[in-house]
Chain A
Amino acid sequence: MADISANFLGIKSPNPFWLASAPPTDKKINVLRAFEAGWGGVVWKTLGSQVKNVSSRYSAVNYNGSRIMGFNNIELISDRPLDINLREIEECIRLFPDRAMIVSLMADNTRESWHELIAKVEDTGAHGFELNFGCPHGMTERGMGAAVGQDPEIARMVVEWVMEKATIPVITKLTPNVHSVVPTGKAAVEAGTNALSLINTIQSVTGVDLDTFVPNPYVAGKSVFGGYCGPAVKPIALKFLATISQDPTTRQVPISGIGGISTWKDAVEFMLLGATTLQVCTAAMKHGFRIVEDMCEGLNNWMDEKGFATINDFIGLSVPTLTHWEDLDINYHHVAHINQDKCIHCGLCYIGCEDTSHQAINLSYGKPYNTYSIKEEECVGCNLCQLICPVEQCITMVEQRKGDEYLNWKDFQRLGLALNDH
């Protein structure tokens, strides 16, 4: 059995799965249920000046009958009184001393407000802070949340204020509503943050009601841009995470990965790209806390299979394989191959390649079943067909190198090699 426990800046948790700062962590009753279910830690719902929410608050994107491929919210930070939050945080820590308790903060934009909030929260015995520089709605209009995270200089200043006062580890949570998360990440690290977490939600409009013509979520005939999360944002989150893991400054601090994590496999991908702990919100909101069981078991089985004893053995392992386009090997070539024994004759590979790729699949008519085969000389190896094919391992890509030696685009140009002629 592998050891799946995490040690993040000295904050220990029996597994690396934390609940992200959001409704699942906004009061004692939820957090205790989460700990009972087995979550390794929580990031308490963001505290700051008390706010008021509207309804409705959520909307979603469904895909081919699957509900909540993407999730969207227009909620603000905690709308409960600060003293109740603090009392409940303290109780949770007392009842589950082995779990990580991070408290998310978003104070008003003055040094005094931050210092005051930090002092109050530290009194609860919390293990760390997460600075919410990411909320894309409601708070930005007040100069907080993403408004801080989008400007590296403001972020630097706030992190400096926080570091003056905080005696426990500080994680800065980054907003993805920027062209690159690196400048703000760098500023935060330079200002002394102990760790980074990402991503917060992405500004979005999930849809427009075709009867009322009002986008959703619907609030009395109006809507606003919301924050998008859930499985749909995972690829974007991974990309931002990778850039933080690549940058020489930001890679110096541990990272807590967030954005669309629903299964142990998603979690492992985040870890391979540099995350030490994983935060989950939407998946828990959709399925309840019980999903953590398979996350732990799946991670454990995978680590055993791969021979990893602790999570530190593979965190960041995939980062070096992300390179620059100009460094890719142009001599690497592969072509599609259809296993006729597995093929169910759905024709999907054919129509994809024929209509939109390289007319590299041959259709031989049959009633009712056509037969499909690859014209290897036409196949460019894009693997569209393999992605489309509904049968696992039916289409495989077979390596057919164009040359033995590694050849990148720069060399290709330098050698004056021939481009495509059709």
Chain B
Amino acid sequence: MAQFVKTDSGKRLTRLITNGYMDNIVKAQQGAFVVWIAIIVPAEIFAGFDNVLYCVPESHSALCAGKGVGVSLCEKAENLGYSMDLCSYARIDMGCHFNQGADSPAGGLPKPDLLVSNNNNCTLLAKWFDVYHREWDIPHFILDIPFCYESQKQRDMEYIVSQFQDLIQTVEKLSGQKFNPEKMAQAWENSVEANKHWRRFLAAAKNKPSGITAFDSFVQMAPTLTMRGTPELAEHYRFLADETEARVEQGIVPAPNEKYRLLWDNIAPWHQLRKMSSRLGALDANIISASYTYCLGSREGSLDLLDLESLSPLEGMARLQNFSICPHGLQLRGRAMKQAIEEMDIDGVVFASNRSCKVYSLMQMDQQRYVQEELGVPTVMIDVDHADERKYSEETAFVRMEALLESIDEARR
């Protein structure tokens, strides 16, 4: 099994993320207005203010799970009466912040002055944030974003933009700070630029063998959530894309003996990233792509970049309210997956049935049937939980994944 060596962009990422969490704590102590947001909330809006910072509890929970404290934090929330059936991100977050940031590898998040959720990724985020709204008596602004069975319609975009305008007024009122649309516009340009380089990085998966693993993309996705709109994000993704392209040119790839090119459908199993990647590598299998990451910035139902040129920043952000896979219906997900399978020459698909994410998982049985029966691509479904390791069995998962590899071999005969 190859020894894991961090790339320069991996080291850079660690510094960025660590500094980001520390900076937030310091700035909050110095009086910054703190907003907790769900991942799809347009963070660029807050860049339009001089002293507003945002934190992303979901991303923090993923970090906790990745660092091995997910289970203990879940248990803390369960001891407070929260059901084990609730999303593990939420349980980790509540377990941490109702215990003054205990066990957080990042020192916890500074307490918010405002909570902003949206409901198209999942409505549960609004219920989760409502817990803090009640316990800490903090205002909670919900962005109401229609679910997409087809591409977002103009009317939906207008409705969303009107809510962004309300959000801006809310932040102005609560923070006492004046909104500067030019600063927000600059942040938006940074995000658009960052996304272009992100796509360059993901495109390395088309190489044979793939220049990346999906696990790289899971980890490198973090700053999109926590640093969106910053020039540092754009610069980091440019660095990441350049380094990845250079490595591919030099033949430095994560799975040189790549025999099986796999696609992962669902959120990353944060507590298993390195283990799963290594164990698959030993089988000459590489999960090269994931629906969780290839949808960022894409048109619904496609891997193609959204054309945002003709849109104002607020319109562009409204359009990108669908940047995750969860707001998409079955047909849209199927079309995007078909394109991913074809463009990246995928041999097999791993459907990770995730107990903590119904919005991602409940369509998977039909999606699996579509991929297996209509596209003729071998698939497997394994049981996971993205952040609660108690709901994952490595041996059971690998028995199934090894069976997938055998199916792929069989299909090749």
- The answer to whether A binds B is no
